[in-house]
Structure 1
Amino acid sequence: MEFCTSSMFSSLVVITIFLPLITADLNSDKQALLDFLAAVPHRRNLNWSSTSPICSSWIGVTCSQDNSSVSILRLPAVGFMGHIPSNTLGKLDSLRTLSLRSNRFNGDLPSDITTLPSLQYLYLQHNNFTGDLPASFSRQLDVLDLSFNSFTGDIPETIQNLTLLTRLNFQNNNLSGSIPNLNLTRLKLLNLSYNQLSGSIPSSLQRFPNSSFVGNSLLCVGGSVVLILLALIILCCCMKKKNNGGSGVLKGKTSGGGRTEKPKEEFGSGVQEPEKNKLVFFEGCSYNFDLEDLLRASAEVLGKGSYGTAYKAVLEESTTVVVKRLKEVVVGKKDFEQQMEIIGRVGQHPNVVPLRAYYYSKDEKLLVYDYIPGGSLSTLLHGTHFSFLSFL
C-alpha cells in the first residue's frame, strides 16, 4: 500500500512539473501558426482558430504522439501568396515534415525554416521562390524538393553536409555555376535538370542517369557520349575504307554511286533503296544531310528507353533532330527494313512523331526523328523529368 501511494505521488509530481512545459510548447506552436496564417494571404479557409484544439481539428496539422508539439504541417495548393514571414513557421522546433508545394509563395526562402532542427522532409516545389538557395539546412533532412521555382545562384557546398539525404530535387530553377562534389552515399534520386549549370558532372554523381542533368546547355554530360560518337566515326571510316571510297554522299532523298532507285510500289512507305553507309530517308522528308554530317553533329543525351539511347543532334546547318541508337537489337537487314516501313506508315498519323530516316549495318542501327521542343509527353502529364524519353 505504501509502494502504491509512493508511485502515485511520483506520477503526480512528474505531471505537475512537465505538463505546463508540454502545454507551453504546444501553445507556442499554435501561436506561430496563427501568426503565419494572419500574415500570408490565402484562398482556402483552413478553419484554424485559437479556441479550437490544434491537434484534432486544424486542417493540415499533425501533432506528436504525446500531443506536445506540431510534427507535420501539410498545406499543398491552399492558395498562399506572397512571402513566408520569418519567426513564424521557423518557431516549430519539433516539425519533421513541411509541405507547402503548389502554392504561390515568392521572394526569399527564410533560413529559419530550412534549419529547423527536427526537419526531415521539405516539399516546396511548384512555387515562385526567388533569390539564392539558403546556405544552411537541417542535418536531419531525408528529402529536399525545391523544384519548379525561380531560385538563382550556385548550389551551396553545404548540401554535402546532409549525409542522411536520399532525394534531392532542384529541377526547373535558374541555378548557375558548377555542381559541387556531393558525395552523399544515401542519395537515391537526384534531379538538377533544366537549370543553367555549367562545367562537368562530379565523379560522385556520375552514377545517376543523364535525365538528372538534361536542360543545362553549358554542362558536360560526361564521356560516354564522346565515346559512342567516336565509335560510330571509327565504324564509318572502316566501312568506307572497305568500300575503297566508292560510296557517294547521300543528300536528302537522292541516291548516289550511280545506282537506280527501285519503283516506289516496292517500298510501301516510299523508302528509297538502302545503300551501305547511307542514311535511308522516307518519302516527304526535307532533310538534307548524310551520315557523316550526323556524326559530326554536337549531341546531347535526352534519355534512355528499353531499346536504346536517344540523342538531340544539332547539325552544322542548325538542323536539329533526335537520333535513337538501338542497342542489342539483333535482326537481319531485310526484317529491319520491313519494320522500318511499318514504323514509317504509323508515323504518317498526325499525332505520332514521324520516323524520317534510318541507318542499318551489322553493328549499328540508328533512327532519325524530328526534334520536338518542350519536353516529353510524360513530362507534360506528370510534371517530372525523372521518366526517360523513349521513341519505341
Structure 2
Amino acid sequence: MELRFAQVRFSSFLLLLLLLLCCSLFPLPLALNEEGEALLSFKSSIKEDPGASMASWNSSASDPCAWNGITCQEGKVVAIALPRSHLLGSLPPSLAALAALRRINLRNNRLQGRLPPGLFSTASIQSLVLSGNSFSGAIPAEVGSLSSLQIFEISNNFLDGTVPASIAHCKRLRLLDLSRNNFSGAVPAGFGTNLTALERLDLSYNRLNGSIPSDLGNLSSLSDTLDLSHNDFSGPIPASLGNLPERIYVDLAFNNLSGSIPQNGALVNRGPTAFMGNPNLCGEPLKNPCPASGTTTATSQSQFPYLPSDQSPVSSSDGRKSTSVLSKRSVIAIVIGDVLAIGLMAMLFFHCYRRAVSSKSEAKTENSRGDSKDGKMCYCCGKDRSQVLAENVEQFDLIPLDKQVHFDLDDLLKGSAFVMGKSGIGIVYKVALDDGLTLAVRRLGEGGSQRFKDFQTEVEAIGKVKHPNIVQLRAYYWSADEKLLIYDFISNDNLSNAIHGNPSDANFSPLTWNIRVKIMKGVAKGLAFLHEFSPKKYVHGDLKPSNILLGSDMEPHISDFGLGHLANMEIGTTSIYSVGKANEKQQQSPLSSTISFSPIWSNTLFYQAPEALKSLRPSQKWDVYSYGVILLEMISGRSPAAVMDTSDMDLVRWVQISIEEKKSLLNVIDPYLAQEPEREDDITATLKVALACVQFDPENRPSMRQVIESLDKLAS
C-alpha cells in the first residue's frame, strides 16, 4: 500500500514538472490591458488603412505602448498620432477609457461621422487635432469639460450647428481653429473675456452671423491670427479690436460689416485685403470714403434752438424794434479794424522776411568759419524746423522710432562696436552699450544732396512695419556726412550659414526638418504681413537667406526691408535693383574706419524673379519667387551658386529637371533630411509649394497668404 502511494506521489511530481516545463517553453499570452482594448476598438472602427498604419495593433502584443503612433508615459497611453494616414472610418466612444490621454493628432485622414461626446470626457486632453477629415454634426457641449485643452483644431470638416458656449470654459486654449466648416449663429459670449490665453483664433469660412463681439479686443495674447473672414457678420467693426496686439493679422474680409473702419491701435495701417468684400464699410484703407455727417449749413442750423415763425421780434430797451441794418458808425469801425489788421500782417511779414535774410547770411558766415549752430536756429514764417536743420547744420541727435528707445547718440558712441558685415549698402556693426543692451547699427554713408525730410519719410515708413518675423528699426541718425539705422540685434547668425555652415564654425549641425519648417513658416508670415500691411503694396525686393536672421530660438527675422530704396536715394537712381557705387569715397564715422564696399546685389541674381531683370515695376510676386528659391535651398541643402558652378543651371531649373526625369526624392533633398524618412510626405508637400512659388508666369504664383495656408497643413 505504501509502495502504491509512493508511486502516485512520484507520478504527480512528474506531471507537475512536465507542466512547468511546457509553460516555460510555450508561455501563455498575457491578457491585453484596458487601454489596449480601447485602442483595438478604435482599430475595429477603421474600414480602410491603406498605409498599414495600424498593422502593429493586435491582441497578441500585450503592451500597446509599442504600437505605431502610440506614445506612453509610465505605462499609460498619453498620445495618439496618425496624421495623413488615409484612415477611413470613425471615432469610437471607447477612447474615453484612455484616462491619461493628452494628445490626439488625426489630421488629414478620411474619418467621418459625429464626434463622440465621450471623447470630450477625458479631462487630461491638451491637444485635439482633427482637421482635414469629414466629421459632421455639432461639436458636443462636453467640450467645455476639457479644462486642460490648449490646442483645438477641427478645420476643414463638415461640422455644423452653433459654436458651443461651453468652449469659453477652456481657459487654457492657445489655438482655436474652427475654420472651413458650416457653423452658424453668433459667436458665444465670453470668448474675449475667458479665452485670454488664445494666440490664434480662426473662425473663417463658416456661416457665423450677428455682430462681432466687442470683448474680442481683450485677446491680448494673440500673436498670430484673428481670422473672421468669409462669414455673415454684420454691424460695425468694434473699436475695441484696436486694443489687440499690433503684430497680429486681423482678417475681416467678406462679411456684411458696415460703417467706418476704426482708426486706432491694431486696426491702423492695415491693408485693404483685411476689409474687402464688405460693400457697406467705408474709410481708410478702402477706396470707399465715408459720407459726410451733414452739410455745413445743416450743422450750423442745428446749433441754434428752433424759432417759431410767428414769434414777435425782440424789442430793445427803449421800446423800439431792433433791425438787422448796421448803423453807419458800426460800418466805419469794421473798416478801420480790417485796415489795421492788414497793416499788422504786412509789418509781421516784413519783419520775418528781414530775419530770414539776416539768418541766411549769418549761417553762411558761420559755415565759412566752420562753426555751425547745430540746428538750433529756426526761421520765422519759413520752413519747419526739421527742414531748416537738414539744410543748415552738420549733425542731428538720434531720432527714436519706438517708445522703448532709452539711449541716445552719446550712448551709442561710447559702446563697443565691431564690424559684422559690409556691402554696397553700407557697413553693419554690432554695438554693445554700457548698460548691456546690444544693437545692430547700419551705416549708410554720405548724405549727398538728399534732404532730411525725404530720408525721414522713408525711414519712418520702415519703422512702422512691426512684426515678430521682421527685424525692427528702432531709431536713426542723419547728417550731411552719413546716416545710421539702429535695429534690434538678432543673435543667431543668418539662414544661409544655418543651411550650409559657416567656415569659421567647426561644430556645424544641420537643421532638422522641424526647425526648417519653423523657419519657412516664420518667413512666410513676415512676408505676408509686409505685403498686406499697407495699401502701397510693399515689396521687399531683396529676399535671400543672408537677409533672414535667426534668433536664439531659431525664429526667423527678415532684415533689410526698404534698404534698396534708401540706397538708391543715395546714388540718385530710381530702380530698386540698382548696383551699388563701385568706388566709395573714403569716409570717417564715429563707429568705423575707412572700409571698401562690394556691390549691393552680389548674390541677389539667384533669387530674382525672371521678370525683375526687365526693370518692370516692382511686384509682390517677385518676393514670392525669391521665397520659393529659398524653400528649394532649404529642401535640397544646395546653394544656388554651387548648383550653377557644377551643373551650369540655376537651382530652380535643376530641381525641375530632376522631377521631369522622375529621379528619386533622395536625389533632390538634403542628405541630412534622408535620415528622417517619416517626413517624406511633408517634404514632398513643401516641394510642391516651392515649385508653385517659382512659376515663370507671375500670375500663376500663389500669394504669401496662400503659402501660409499650405504650410500650416504640415505637421508641427
The TM-score, its normalising length taken from structure 1, stands at: 0.56
More deviation in 341-350 or 150-159?
341-350
* Aligned-partner Cα distance in 2 for 1:102–1:210: 22
* Aligned-partner Cα distance in 1 for 2:105–2:90: 16
In the alignment, is the contact (CA less than 8 A) between 1:90 and 1:113 conserved in 2?
yes
If asked which structure has higher relative contact order (CA below 8 Å, sep 6+), I would say: 1
Say whether 1:230 aligns with 2:237: no
Q: 1:110 is matched with which residue?
A: 116
Q: Per-residue deviation at 1:223?
A: 4.7
* Aligned-partner Cα distance in 1 for 2:291–2:158: 47
Given residue 213 of structure 1, which amino acid in structure 2 is its aligned partner?
A: L
Structure-2 change in CA distance of 1:54 and 1:343 (3 Å) = farther
* Aligned-partner Cα distance in 2 for 1:63–1:179: 37
Q: Give the superposed CA RMSD.
A: 4.3
Given residue 352 of structure 1, which amino acid in structure 2 is its aligned partner?
A: P
Say whether 1:172 aligns with 2:180: yes
Say whether 1:57 aligns with 2:66: yes
Structure-2 change in CA distance of 1:231 and 1:150 (3 Å) = closer
In the alignment, is the contact (CA less than 8 A) between 2:176 and 2:200 conserved in 1?
yes
Q: Residues 317-356 of structure 1 correspond to what in structure 2 (within 5 A)?
A: 344=617, 351-353=697-699
1:18-39 per-residue CA deviation (whole Å, 9 max, x = no partner) reads xxxxx99x71111111122123
Given residue 77 of structure 2, which amino acid in structure 1 is its aligned partner?
A: V
Q: Per-residue deviation at 1:169?
A: 1.0
* Aligned-partner Cα distance in 1 for 2:533–2:187: 24
Unpaired runs of 5+ residues, structure 1, are: 1-22, 239-302, 311-322, 355-371, 385-392
Percent identity, please. 27
Q: 2:87 is matched with which residue?
A: 80
Structure-2 change in CA distance of 1:342 and 1:199 (3 Å) = farther
1:160-202 per-residue CA deviation (whole Å, 9 max, x = no partner) reads 1111111111111111111123121211121111111112222
Say whether 1:96 aligns with 2:102: yes
User: What SS does the corresponding residue of 1:41 show, helix, strand or coil?
Assistant: strand
In the alignment, is the contact (CA less than 8 A) between 2:208 and 2:231 conserved in 1?
yes
In the alignment, is the contact (CA less than 8 A) between 1:197 and 1:219 conserved in 2?
no
In the alignment, is the contact (CA less than 8 A) between 2:57 and 2:64 conserved in 1?
no
Structure-2 change in CA distance of 1:351 and 1:204 (3 Å) = farther
User: What SS does the corresponding residue of 2:187 show, helix, strand or coil?
Assistant: coil
Q: Residues 219-258 of structure 1 correspond to what in structure 2 (within 5 A)?
A: 222-223=237-238, 226-227=261-262, 229-230=282-283
* Aligned-partner Cα distance in 2 for 1:100–1:161: 24
Q: Per-residue deviation at 1:374?
A: 10
In the alignment, is the contact (CA less than 8 A) between 1:128 and 1:150 conserved in 2?
yes
Structure-2 change in CA distance of 1:28 and 1:374 (3 Å) = same
Say whether 1:214 aligns with 2:214: no
Q: Which has the larger radius of gyration?
A: 2
Structure-2 change in CA distance of 1:200 and 1:343 (3 Å) = farther
In the alignment, is the contact (CA less than 8 A) between 1:71 and 1:96 conserved in 2?
yes
Given residue 230 of structure 1, which amino acid in structure 2 is its aligned partner?
A: G
Aligned length: 265
* Aligned-partner Cα distance in 2 for 1:27–1:234: 66
User: What SS does the corresponding residue of 2:47 show, helix, strand or coil?
Assistant: coil
Structure-2 change in CA distance of 1:235 and 1:342 (3 Å) = farther
Structure-2 change in CA distance of 1:40 and 1:116 (3 Å) = same
Q: Per-residue deviation at 1:234?
A: 11
* Aligned-partner Cα distance in 1 for 2:96–2:205: 30
Say whether 1:203 aligns with 2:214: yes
* Aligned-partner Cα distance in 1 for 2:125–2:179: 21
In the alignment, is the contact (CA less than 8 A) between 1:193 and 1:211 conserved in 2?
no
Given residue 42 of structure 1, which amino acid in structure 2 is its aligned partner?
A: E
Unpaired runs of 5+ residues, structure 2, are: 1-29, 240-259, 264-281, 293-526, 540-561, 577-613, 623-694
Q: Per-residue deviation at 1:111?
A: 0.8
Say whether 1:188 aligns with 2:199: yes
Say whether 1:159 aligns with 2:212: no
In the alignment, is the contact (CA less than 8 A) between 2:83 and 2:107 conserved in 1?
yes
Say whether 1:37 aligns with 2:73: no
**More strand by percentage:** 1
Q: Per-residue deviation at 1:110?
A: 0.3
The TM-score, its normalising length taken from structure 2, stands at: 0.32
